[in-house]
Homo-oligomer: A and B are copies of this chain.
Amino acid sequence: MALLWRGGEQPEEVRPGPKPALSVDVIVEAAIEVADREGMAALSMRKVGERLGRTGMALYTYVPNKGELIDLMYDRVLAELPTKYDVSAGWRPAVASWAGHTLDFYLRHPWVLQVSQARPVLGPNEFAALESVVAILRGTGLGPRRTRGVVALLFDFVRGAARTVTESRLAPSATGVSDEEWWRTRSHLLEEVAPGFAERYPMVAWVESQDDEAGEDDTFTMGLNVLLDGLEATIAKG
């Protein structure tokens, strides 16, 4: 917690003992690289230490434990998000832009989705991220209560969409099988193991049938538009 909010530079008091060769910052950076590349499950103190030419235990000089390291990673990476959005064209394009940036962010750092969200880590950049959406919604005339609800809805949607994308990306790469191949194999298995699938689950069969609609935009954009329409209706109702 204190580490999260530590100011620019500490007074740098002169102390006996060897100079620190590492720093909280380089450790956090190395840890983020590991998590970005290999995922949260593969993140271990030893691995981060090795990347810095140290043992895992060396990190405990700088960081009290793995949990706090993750908090630091989380807040650090949140700094990538824009903090201001142009609302001159209204809240709608601004929210759409926010959603897009936030989705990209989660796709860049999928492990972030595994950091607790209900109980926020409460770092400076987390508040900044929250600040940016609320600032957009401020112009809608919604009260704080409704704004909170809408913010939660927006975050849930974006995070859910990100989770869907990243999880479907991760699973096959682990086994070295292509995505398409994976689905084909799965379908074959399904037919073998559950004959009469289409009769048993007619709605599922229908919903997964070939597209009959025009429109090339993806699931994300679609869901976002539904959501924005709902927001518009909510605002209109006062």
Contacts and interface: CB of A to CB of B under 8 A. Distances in A.
Interface of A: 1-2, 4-5, 116-119, 122, 124, 127-128, 130-131, 134-135, 138, 143-153, 155-157, 159-161, 163-168, 171-172, 182, 186, 189-190, 193-194, 200-204, 206-213, 215, 219, 222-223, 225-234
Contacts of A182: 119
Contacts of A230: 225-231, 233
Please state the number of chain copies in the assembly: 2
A204 B129 CA distance: 10
B145 A227 contact: no
Report which residue of A138, A146, A159 has the largest number of chain B beta carbons within 10 angstroms of its beta carbon. A146
Contacts of A165: 118
Contact of A222 (B135, B149, B160, B227): B149
A162 to B, nearest CB: 9
